[in-house]
């Protein structure tokens, strides 16, 4: 019996070890594959020419594999969507955690989170069919499929992430901190701005970065509403082509293991580097500015 108990323990340990390492090993394998399929393009052109080349004509003779307009498109869309989603998400979170009544919070929070469960193709279709003609009419621009439309749609998608995580962070600020502030005669607004937000800033920053990392990797929405012009955006109503849109539009028909195919995987590497960076920063921020105990503020 002692043996069987011992073995049972050991087997359980191995079983859980396998399960825990499965996702890690899958990630490692996908990354490996990504690099194996992407690196060969750099035999044809230098990394600098790839990253900072101005023209993306992968099927022309001779082809141009410059992804700078694509990177610019991705960054512009992500930045603009963050400008919309950060105030929306964080202010909603503050309201829900600090001001709203318990009942209201219990209704609104799940609804906001439900927004995250909308399939991206639905949001993309909404942007294409409803928002694009609207923008075109109201702002009198040439096309409604542009940077602003894409940023707006991506903001819809990252608001739930930002709101939900920041709300948790704000809500978990110890009550004694707030009580101390109020007892000193500070108003509610002062307490929120000077005490609650600084105390939960690490959680809020993590939320913002995760929301942005979702926006930069999102494919379907930008493919449908960003317009897809591979040029440097001059205004927020210019069409752009973010990195994922290029991969999604062209991968299906790129000749297997041709230069175009390798170049698309190399774009994947760049995209991976971006999201990886975002996650590292999120991790760092959440550890660096973590509120430990109640006395450190």
Partner 1 sequence: MKKMSKPLILAAVLIFCAGFGTAWAGNIVIKGSTTVLPIAQKTAEAYMKENPDISISISGGGSGNGIKAIIDGTTDIADSSRFIKDKEVQLATTKGQYPVPFAVAYDCIVPVVHPSNTITDLTMDQLKAIYKGEIKNWNQVGGPDRPIVVISRDTSSGTYEVWEEKVMKNERVYPGALLQASNGAVAQAVAKNKNAVGYIGIGYMNDDVKPVSVGGVVGSSETTLNGTFPISRPLFMFTNNWPTGDIAKFINYVMHPEKGQKLVKDAGFVPLY
| Residues forming the site for partner 1 (CB under 8 A) | 55-61, 69, 128-129, 132-133, 136, 142-145, 223-224, 227-231, 238-239, 241, 245, 248-250, 252-256, 260
Smallest separation, CB 192 to partner 1 (Å) = 43
Please provide residue 140's backbone torsions phi and psi, each rounded to the nearest 5 degrees.
Answer: 50, 50
Least distance (Å) from partner 1 to the CB of residue 115? 25
What is the secondary structure of 24-92 as a DSSP string? Answer: HHHHHHHHHHHHHHHGGGGGTS-HHHHHH-S-EETTSSS-EE--HHHHHHHHHHHHHHHHHHHHHHHHH
Q: C-beta of 44: minimal distance to partner 1 in Å?
A: 17
As measured in angstroms, the least distance from the Cβ of 167 to partner 1 is 37
Q: Between residues 56 and 156, which has the closer beta carbon with respect to partner 1?
A: 56
Minimum CB–partner distance for residue 57 and partner 1 (Å): 6
- In the complex, the smallest distance separating the C-beta of residue 35 from partner 1, rounded to whole angstroms, is 23
The smaller minimum CB distance to partner 1, of residues 66 and 89, is found at: 66
C-alpha 251/C-alpha 261 separation (Å) is: 7
Angle at 18 between CA 13 and CA 21, to 5 degrees: 120
Q: Name the DSSP letter for residue 251.
A: G
The residue among 208, 211, 221 whose CA lies nearest residue 147 is 221
* Residue number, 168 or 250, with CB nearest to partner 1: 250
- CB 262, min distance to partner 1, A: 14
Of the two residues 12 and 142, which places its CB atom closer to partner 1 in the complex? Answer: 142
Q: In whole angstroms, what separates CA 12 from the centre of its chain?
A: 36
* Sequence-ordered list of residues with C-beta below 8 angstroms from that of 283, at least 6 positions apart, any chain: none
Between 128 and 182, name the residue whose CB sits nearer to partner 1: 128
Whose Cβ is closer to partner 1: residue 142's or residue 184's?
Answer: 142
d(CA 229, CA 287): 40
Of the pair 55, 171, the CB lying nearest partner 1 is at 55
**End-to-end Cα separation, the chain, in angstroms:** 55
Coil, strand, or helix at residue 153? helix
DSSP percent split of the chain into helix, strand, coil, nearest 5:
75, 0, 25
Residues in the chain: 297
Nearer to partner 1, 208 or 224 (CB): 224
For residue 128, the minimal CB distance to partner 1 (Å) is 7
Rounded to a whole number of angstroms, the CA Rg of the chain reads: 23
């Amino acid at each position: 019996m002692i043996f069987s108990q011992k073995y049972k323990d050991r087997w359980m340990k191995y079983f859980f070890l396998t399960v825990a390492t499965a996702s890690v090993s899958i990630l490692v394998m996908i990354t490996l594959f990504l690099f194996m399929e992407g690196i060969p393009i750099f035999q044809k052109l230098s990394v600098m020419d790839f990253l900072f080349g101005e023209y993306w004509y992968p099927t022309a003779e001779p082809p141009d594999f410059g992804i700078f307009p694509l990177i610019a498109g991705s960054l512009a869309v992500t930045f603009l969507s963050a400008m919309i989603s950060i105030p929306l998400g964080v202010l909603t979170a503050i309201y829900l955690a600090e001001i709203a009544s318990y009942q209201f919070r219990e209704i609104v929070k799940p609804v906001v989170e439900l927004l995250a469960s909308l399939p991206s193709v639905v949001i993309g279709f909404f942007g294409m069919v409803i928002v694009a003609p609207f923008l075109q009419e109201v702002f009198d621009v040439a096309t409604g499929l542009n940077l602003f439309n894409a940023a707006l749609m991506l903001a819809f998608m990252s608001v739930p992430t930002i709101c939900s995580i920041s709300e948790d962070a704000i809500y978990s600020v110890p009550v004694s901190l707030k009580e101390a502030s109020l007892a000193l005669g500070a108003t509610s607004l002062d307490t929120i701005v000077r005490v609650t937000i600084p105390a939960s800033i690490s959680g809020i920053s993590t939320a913002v970065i995760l929301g942005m990392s979702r926006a930069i990797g999102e494919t379907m929405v930008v493919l449908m509403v960003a317009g897809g012009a591979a040029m440097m955006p001059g205004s927020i109503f210019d069409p752009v082509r973010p990195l994922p849109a290029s991969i999604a539009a062209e991968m299906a028909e790129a000749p297997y293991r041709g230069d175009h195919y390798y170049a698309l995987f190399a774009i994947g590497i760049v995209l991976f580097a971006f999201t990886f960076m975002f996650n590292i920063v999120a991790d760092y921020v959440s550890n660096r500015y973590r509120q430990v105990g109640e006395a450190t503020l």
